[in-house]
Structure 1
């Protein structure tokens, strides 16, 4: 087996900050998608397909410019199955979340899909290590989840968007589980091959899954596939280049030195950022509960720096 050259290990705070940056970038997805919906009739699956294509295109340029093609090849030869699994889990997370939003509304889907990963990984790690989570870990997750509920359900930054249904909640649970597992399965790859090769390979798998899905769904349902509005195309490029390519490079870079359980808590900055953008630019009002919730999420993330440990080799 060919092994990639060791890469520099970042300080623990650097990794955490990279993950937080990814969460902030992801927080802009909702407002951007809302604008695409306002300017066009493109369905979400078609948006996802265009987003994936833009992400892969920019990652290809980065790989060629940075001469990292060999690293991508080594990754595929040595751990192609794991990389494909991460890509499929990432695609499942994204598409299941869209379905959950349509089935049960933005608020409930966000709470369930973003709330289950920290709990799931806390339990999985406790079982793997055969020891209970520390009081600090349990408290951090509890505070973060409380903040998430306050921000998403009572914060005022999201419209209800639908009725809560059992099916929608189950789909949101599946979405959150896919996200948690993608972080857990992908972490060992980043420690050996670096963020750019891992992001390039996994996002290519995402595109291979989402593009056919977007084409088939739009054909079967007779939905719009394209638009002549330049604002829509610029937003789709932004969604692919920034909220997918850049965000996943940041995420995988952070995973090199940050445990997956910590990562999924840190990315709860996503709903907080989305609420703040809605308040600042979309004319929505932040309720007192939203203020408290945002503060709790930030407090939980701030406490993570004291708990971050170097990930054990796997």
Structure 2
């Protein structure tokens, strides 16, 4: 006799909430990355591109080690054989949108780069999903999206009021490229995650990303390696937690939440960065930032209601997974 446990509305709601928590947890880890980069650059003046390359390479090494230890290397080989182009797209896209963002920050400042790149992705994916399903987003979804974007704007501007850049037009264009690439990469990763394990997908993505970024070290100024124990420890933190673990969580969440829901939930990242800066570095949180944080957190909490999620609620492709 068939059971209803894997198809009932309550089961869908439970898996949706689990996926949302996984994406939010990934975003919290990403939000601590800025502090780690700052602490590394206090030890050695490594460029953001150099840090990104080693972060990706460390993540790839750790994930490959995990696959081999678990005797699951065959999953990565099967993924590479079955969907090579999609895997390359996700790996190159992940490296690209991070690179676009870092360069955008140098040209137009953190506030504008963050608002444009992170704010554009949920809008693009919400519109794309509405076109694909031939219906306008529900009022609850639009409310969640508007609240999240308003909160992002307040947090970013309040936290970086004095940030400027030498080439604002180029910086905005790079931020648009970052947000667009982020949206496309998240959608592609969500598609692959439905048919493969998050561990195998993240391993393949970081291998491709490392292959793209490591050759770029020949083009950057400044040191390409560091020997400082503190800097090495923070690099390990970036690779293991903010890349390897965070993306496993993201791709696990994308199995049961729509890409537009995931990128909306990922706005927890700048909120985390602001809170970490206040707690660790003693930076003050003004009233605007506090309101922005509450708006983002309220919006992400609203995503927990399937009717207000920024995209369709997806069934779990593997309800028996642990």
TM over 0.5: yes
Residue matched to 1:60: 64
Matched, 1:18 2:17: no
Residue matched to 2:81: 77
Q: Deviations over 1:269-294 (max 9, x none)?
A: 00000000000011110000000000
Q: Deviations over 1:93-129 (max 9, x none)?
A: 1111110111111111111110000100011111111
- Which ranges of structure 1 fall in alignment gaps of 5 or more residues? 1-8
CA distance in 1, matches of 2:163, 2:315: 39
Residue matched to 2:245: 246
Indicate if the aligned counterparts of 1:116 and 1:173 stay in contact, CA closer than 8 A: yes
Matched, 1:118 2:122: yes
Following TM superposition, by how much is the alpha carbon of 1:164 offset from its aligned partner in structure 2, in angstroms?
6.6
Residue matched to 2:275: 276
Matched residue of 2:83: which SS? helix
Residue matched to 1:144: 148
Following TM superposition, by how much is the alpha carbon of 1:88 offset from its aligned partner in structure 2, in angstroms?
0.9
Following TM superposition, by how much is the alpha carbon of 1:19 offset from its aligned partner in structure 2, in angstroms?
0.3
**Match for residue 219 of structure 2 among 213, 217, 226:** 217
Indicate if the aligned counterparts of 2:15 and 2:316 stay in contact, CA closer than 8 A: no
TM-score scaled by length of structure 1: 0.92
Residue matched to 1:303: 302
CA distance in 1, matches of 2:51, 2:202: 20
CA distance in 1, matches of 2:172, 2:73: 41
Residue matched to 1:183: 186
Matched residue of 2:195: which SS? helix
Matched residue of 1:286: which SS? coil
CA distance in 2, matches of 1:278, 1:158: 15
Indicate if the aligned counterparts of 2:110 and 2:160 stay in contact, CA closer than 8 A: no
Indicate if the aligned counterparts of 1:259 and 1:311 stay in contact, CA closer than 8 A: no
Indicate if the aligned counterparts of 1:24 and 1:273 stay in contact, CA closer than 8 A: yes
Indicate if the aligned counterparts of 1:54 and 1:240 stay in contact, CA closer than 8 A: yes
Q: Deviations over 1:196-217 (max 9, x none)?
A: 0111111111101010112x21
Indicate if the aligned counterparts of 1:279 and 1:285 stay in contact, CA closer than 8 A: yes
Matched, 1:287 2:289: no
Residue matched to 2:206: 203
Q: Deviations over 1:44-98 (max 9, x none)?
A: 1111111111111100111111222111111111111111111111111111111
CA distance in 2, matches of 1:85, 1:262: 21
CA distance in 2, matches of 1:241, 1:312: 27
CA distance in 2, matches of 1:145, 1:34: 26
- Which ranges of structure 2 fall in alignment gaps of 5 or more residues? 1-11, 318-322
Q: Which moved more, 1:228-237 or 1:245-254?
A: 228-237
CA distance in 2, matches of 1:167, 1:69: 42
TM-score scaled by length of structure 2: 0.90
Give the 3 Å change call, closer, same or farther, for CA 91–292 of structure 1 in structure 2. same
**Match for residue 171 of structure 2 among 168, 172, 182:** 168
Following TM superposition, by how much is the alpha carbon of 1:228 offset from its aligned partner in structure 2, in angstroms?
2.7
Indicate if the aligned counterparts of 1:141 and 1:265 stay in contact, CA closer than 8 A: yes
